[in-house]
Amino acid sequence: METLHRLEETIAARRAASPDESYVAKLNAKGLPKIAQKLGEEATETVIAGVAGSNEELVGESADLIFHLLVLLSARGVSLDHVLAELERREGLSGIEEKASRSAKE
């Protein structure tokens, strides 16, 4: 988890860098729809690796997916801790109880 928090900090710091020097800055300069699109592409690549790729390919695509998710969260101003708190809230709930708790919120 330390790694993810470190990466979150790096992403936040790189947002202000020059797009010529930083992939994070380049993606941010393109705006939220492009970041979301990129995350969708990485999700698709992860699915394909999950069904037909090697474990090594699945690991690589999973890393791309998590990285791009952190870029999207950062662009929206949502912290990793916020997401982790939601996962912790779900701990101990069954899948059915979790679904019910979400329906109640809607």
Binding residue for ligand PRT, selected from 35, 64, 65, 73, defined by CB under 6 A: 64
Which range of residues in 19-27, 50-58, 77-85, 97-105 is near ligand PRT by CB under 6 A? 19-27
Binding residue for ligand PRT, selected from 5, 10, 79, 83, defined by CB under 6 A: 10
Residue 106 belongs to what H/E stretch? none
Position 22 contacts ligand PRT (CB under 6 A): yes
Structure tokens at 50: 């999950």
Position 36 contacts ligand PRT (CB under 6 A): no
> What is the full DSSP assignment across 7-55?
HHHHHHHHTTS-TTT-HHHHHHHH-HHHHHHHHHHHHHHHHHHHHHS-H
Residues in contact with ligand PRT by the rule CB under 6 A? 7, 10, 14, 22-25, 64, 67
